[in-house]
Structure 1
Amino acid sequence: MRELGMMIGGRPTAADDGRTFASVDPYTGREWATIARGSAADVDAAVRDADTAFRSEAWRALTAGARGALLVRLADLAIERLDELVEIESRDNGKSRKELRASLRTMAAWYRYYGGLADKVQGDVIPVDRPASLNYTVHEPYGVVAAILPWNSPLRLAAWKIAPALAAGNAVVLKPSEHASASNLIFNALFEEAGLPPGIVNVVTGFGPDVVPALIAHPLVKKVSFTGGVAAGTLVSELAGRHLKPCTLELGGKSPQIVFGDADLDRAADGIAAGVFFSGGQTCLAGSRLLVHASVHDALLERIVDRAKKVRLGDPADPETDVGPVATAVQHQAIAEHITAARATDAVLVTGGDTEDGRFIGPTVFDEVARDSRLFQDEVFGPVLAVTSFDTEDEAVELANDTPFGLAAGIWTRDIGRAHRVAGRVQAGTVWINTYRNTVPQSPFGGYKASGVGRESGFAGITEYLQVKSVWVDLGGGG
């Protein structure tokens, strides 16, 4: 058993009242770590320490370029510690180490990108209609940012928030999910090793109701960034709104994969299978709705089922394993309930659907899914694909947009005109054409509709953590 405290001021810290909770390995079902269970008192200590670090000479005296260089050093350290981070995160959420190794290698790219971007933020000189007046803008950090994470990709999603927040000059208090806290606690030691001031990133662990309201309401927290489900995101938004705090929300999705009759079916099948089955479907951008032209329905479905049957479930530590267990018992039950509900409709179960193991759920495909069904409309957050046929381009677009979500979409066609035309009509923050699941630090990511507010990654990502100040100067002469 490992004992992990919160990270405040760069040091492991027990909860104020001494409480802890257990982290359970999803594969073995056994407790493997005890983690400090925070409360409002711990939130206050973490936020005040972060605010002190933010106002310290050690941080404020750094140039933007110097901040960036520290983030690049942090990226190097992340790669050096890759094996340890992979092992810890895999034990926390059950992801295969093969997948995590690739994911965490790319995580470092976010710290490198924002390290390079830190000194590229520029203000403007405004051509105002006032003689002898100069007006210009500058971008300034908020101060302490509250960053709240889910359990599916804790280190990668932390990088999406921490890297731009630090590049912009803020401090961060991170609240990881109680289901996957360990990897960010271990990673936190690297900030000081990279040369960042102690406390510039603090980590408060514990259960959401005990910690999140106090974190958002704390008067020294000036900005909130949240990734998670719609219900939790709504509560976070409401809490932030009560205190007039800006809030970035990256929420769920029910993303369509639209396959036209002229598509390369082998490439489409590869993209669709990877988009919904890997990571056990436990990702917000999962392409969980297949909208396929009736003329290629049977041929494409045959290819997808073939790929689904080749996905290897098993021990996350086994290098041959593609997909590990579902991250938590609660999530396993939620996915199983979706499958049970779909079985009770007119949808046809093509493959998968076995939920008896209690740990694993393999790739599952339902065909003839009605647009008003729960499986078509609701996020499952599991490896379950809902298939619906269409006949015309207009029908495909209508079906694609007929959910509350708008995070992502895939379009598969050889017709370049159609590809761009449909991309313009689909209501989604990211559209992939003849590919799927590409995410890079240079490109903004976020959702339309119930899939979120604001953007992460790209230049848009750093602007989420900056305030714009307008400065007026009287140059004399009656301005």
Structure 2
Amino acid sequence: MSLFEYAPAPESRSIVDIAPSYGLFIDGEFGEAKDTFKTINPADEQVLSEVALAGPEDVDRAVAAARRAFESWSALPGSERAKYLFRIARILQERSRELAVLESLDNGKPIKESRDVDLPLVAAHFFYYAGWADKLKYAGLGPDPRPLGVAGQVIPWNFPLLMLAWKIAPALAAGNTVVLKPAETTPLSALFFADICRQAELPPGVVNIVTGAGDTGRYLVEHPDVNKVAFTGSTEVGRQIARSVAGTGKKLTLELGGKAANIVFDDAPIDQAVEGIVNGIFFNQGHVCCAGSRLLVQESIATELLDSLKRRMATLRVGDPLDKNTDVGAINSAAQLARITELSEIGASEGAERWSPPCELPARGFWFAPTIFTGVTQAHRIAREEIFGPVLSVLTFRTPAEAIEKANNTPYGLSAGIWSEKGSRILAVADKLRAGVVWANTFNKFDPTSPFGGYKESGYGREGGRHGLEAYLA
């Protein structure tokens, strides 16, 4: 089989104007901090901009601004708050091409994903929660639900703008004010969002953005005047946050790691399942907490499915995130690349068989070829630990009961996938899977109307849908 050779189809970088430096967004204005750090493009390691590093006094100022703004913001009728959210949603749509390019530059994800998945979902979340702002008493959360106060929100680097929308949209709709800390390696889209808040004439102090590293996030979640903490990130950091918040009266939601099972039964449509497997683990370079990183395939079709999967992987294009033909972009950071590499080498040393399609990786930047491991057992570290990269562990099963047992044999419980043509089998298996989200004959499908969250070490609380309002209301 000969593959088509695609000519490069680059998206123009000139669409987005990145300033040489950015300050902290507090009380409606950008201001400087004592220290700064650089954010780089993971595809070529070039510096994109210099960003303020918030210290304790900066976080104090941001929380104080949010507290002052809370009195008037929470007092607004829901229909008035909704107008601001609708305005933000429309501006996000108008500036979506600019924001998609920025997200791909700062994060490393392919432009077709940031353009076709991230940005439409970001706008959709603001539209959706704008619609809830004047209907809170009908959300099933009591006749007179009230906002909590100041929300301290810490988001990860894998979906910077989408995680911002998941956090900020329901918080504002419910009448809270926000101090948000974006990830150290991907601060730029949050800072652009600050400019969108000004463009939408959002009252000063309603949204504040403090950039920095882990310490900045710690100052925010431990701040005594924060009423609500929302965190998406690693299970290890989630545990630390849960300990620091315990006994303080702060409301907490945690959306943490995952090691999702993608279960393929012998009656599944093979070609459709292969597309779902590829989307489940190689979407966003595997930097997805709900990625289908454990493939459980019924023994009788394992050989056929793996042959088809390898043929499909051979067509994946790895390279420049701004090329519209790219399927797999750059790994977000040197530190993440080192972790993916280490766990992959451990998988090979423990006896699993490693395979990657032939692909030429760029000389500069952080890159990792799409990889699958076969001959994996439940004792292998690559089957137990979250790799957070484009690495798939393949296990087999004989009966539905064995599939369920293996799928649930994990400390995580965020998501799962089931592939079968029998609706009764899908429902029966889904009912026994201990996972917050179970996809049937698809994977990685998100909608603002649907709640998302996990069990066990994948955290607690839900984001999205009516359920997502509960975390921001008393």
How far does the alpha carbon of each residue in 1:107-151 deviate from its partner, in whole angstroms, 9 at most, with x for none? 10000000001122216999xxxxxxxxx7421001100010111
Residue 116 (str. 1) matches residue 134 (str. 2): no
Q: 1:224 is paired with a residue of what secondary structure?
A: strand
8 Å contact kept, 1:353–1:361: no
Q: 1:141 is paired with a residue of what secondary structure?
A: coil
Match of 1:159 among 160, 165, 179: 165
Letter of the aligned partner of 1:92 in structure 2? D
Structure 2 equivalent of residue 132 of structure 1: none
Larger radius of gyration: 1
Q: How is 1:79-90 mapped onto 2 (pairs within 5 angstroms)?
A: 79-90=93-104
How far, CA to CA, are the matches of 1:62 and 1:333 in structure 2?
49
8 Å contact kept, 2:286–2:390: yes
Structure 1 equivalent of residue 381 of structure 2: 374
Q: How is 1:149-188 mapped onto 2 (pairs within 5 angstroms)?
A: 149-188=155-194
Letter of the aligned partner of 1:153 in structure 2? F
Percent identity, please.
43
How far, CA to CA, are the matches of 1:445 and 1:426 in structure 2?
15
Letter of the aligned partner of 2:410 in structure 1? T
Residue 302 (str. 1) matches residue 316 (str. 2): no
Superposition deviation, residue 244 in structure 1: 2.9
> Whose strand fraction is larger, Structure 1's or Structure 2's?
1
Match of 1:388 among 378, 384, 395: 395
Match of 2:320 among 315, 318, 324: 315
Query: Structure 2: any 5+ residue segments left out of the alignment?
Result: 1-18
8 Å contact kept, 1:147–1:173: yes
Structure 2 equivalent of residue 75 of structure 1: 89
8 Å contact kept, 1:145–1:223: yes
Which structure 1 residue ranges, 4+ long, deviate > 4 Å from structure 2?
Answer: 123-126, 352-358
How far, CA to CA, are the matches of 2:346 and 2:140 in structure 1?
59
In structure 2, relative to structure 1, the CA distance for the partners of 1:155 and 1:223 (3 Å cut) is: same
Q: How is 1:146-295 mapped onto 2 (pairs within 5 angstroms)?
A: 146-209=152-215, 211-295=216-300
How far does the alpha carbon of each residue in 1:425-462 deviate from its partner, in whole angstroms, 9 at most, with x for none? 00000001111111100000000111011000010001
How far, CA to CA, are the matches of 1:341 and 1:353 in structure 2?
21
Match of 1:46 among 62, 84, 90: 62
Match of 1:14 among 4, 29, 32: 32
How far, CA to CA, are the matches of 1:382 and 1:125 in structure 2?
39
For these two proteins, the number of residue pairs brought into alignment is 453
8 Å contact kept, 1:123–1:139: no
How far, CA to CA, are the matches of 2:349 and 2:464 in structure 1?
41
Q: 1:410 is paired with a residue of what secondary structure?
A: strand
In structure 2, relative to structure 1, the CA distance for the partners of 1:124 and 1:353 (3 Å cut) is: closer
Deviates more, 1:86-95 or 1:346-355: 346-355
Letter of the aligned partner of 2:20 in structure 1? R
8 Å contact kept, 1:162–1:172: yes
8 Å contact kept, 1:442–1:458: yes
Structure 1 equivalent of residue 10 of structure 2: none
How far, CA to CA, are the matches of 1:116 and 1:197 in structure 2?
19
Match of 1:107 among 90, 98, 122: 122
How far does the alpha carbon of each residue in 1:54-91 deviate from its partner, in whole angstroms, 9 at most, with x for none? 113xx244211221122111110001111221222222
8 Å contact kept, 1:50–1:199: yes
| TM-score, length basis structure 1 | 0.92
Q: 2:25 is paired with a residue of what secondary structure?
A: strand
Residue 351 (str. 1) matches residue 362 (str. 2): no
How far, CA to CA, are the matches of 1:268 and 1:447 in structure 2?
24
How far, CA to CA, are the matches of 1:384 and 1:123 in structure 2?
44
Letter of the aligned partner of 1:52 in structure 2? R
Superposition deviation, residue 421 in structure 1: 0.3
Q: 2:396 is paired with a residue of what secondary structure?
A: strand
8 Å contact kept, 1:280–1:362: no
Residue 340 (str. 1) matches residue 354 (str. 2): no
8 Å contact kept, 1:339–1:353: no
How far does the alpha carbon of each residue in 1:306-360 deviate from its partner, in whole angstroms, 9 at most, with x for none? 1212111111111111221100000000000011000102211133599996621
